[in-house]
Amino acid sequence: MFLYQLLNFFFASSKKEEDSKYDLSLYKRGDLLEVPRTLFTHFGIYLGDNRVAHLIPDILPVISKNKSAVAKMVTNNRLLAGVITKVASVRVDSVADFAYGSEILINHMDKVCSQPPLDGDEVARRAEKLLGSVTYSLLWYNCEHYVMYCRYGMAISYQTYQFCTIVRKIVCSRMSAYVTALCGVCTMLYLGCVTLLTVLPTLLISFTIWMAA
């Protein structure tokens, strides 16, 4: 019993210290908050009273009906599993749980987006209206799409655009065309199957990549 109370005291103290790390007076209702999370930046909308609405992948609701466990801070393991299984929701967490120990940028996207931000109350109202389970896509509907719609009225993701640009540069390059052609030739020679049905796809794919480069 004593050990249980001691552990509770320890976690409560840690939680209090984590919460005090963030100065809530810096945030206004409707502010767009962003923090580094795994390989990408994570975004949320500040609702006021130490509450942040954010779209986050989470596998736990699928495998557990324990609402108290689901309500706890989403760890990176839960997040990554949610990304893979495309399970996500728009939920409300404290600033500390949202930030996951990272420094918070406030309204940084105002400098990037050409569209002026909506009124703070309207931003928060939109964020609250979309609470609940959503269909998640890393490329087509993620946390950035959500906050950009809420604050600027358009669901876009600069991270997705940059990611697709990098992938395009890698895939649609002359080197990629060379490698594709070489792999096709090596495969045909290894299998001893050099026919029109194997040569034509190899040439067509390599030519398409070459023209796209």
Question: Which residues are catalytic, by number?
Answer: 143
What b/e readout covers 18-42, taking b as 16+ CB neighbours within 10 angstroms? beeebeeeebebbbbbbbebeebbb
Beta bridge partners of 40: 37
Q: Is residue 121 within 8 Å of 47, Cβ to Cβ?
A: no
What gap in Å lies between CA 104 and CA 113, rounded to an integer?
A: 18
CB distance 90 to 42 below 8 Å: no
DSSP string, 172-185: SSHHHHHHHHHHHH
**DSSP 3-state of 168:** helix
Q: Which amino acid is at 98?
A: F
Q: Are 31 and 46 in contact (CB under 8 A)?
A: yes
Q: 140 phi and psi, to 5 degrees? A: -110, -20
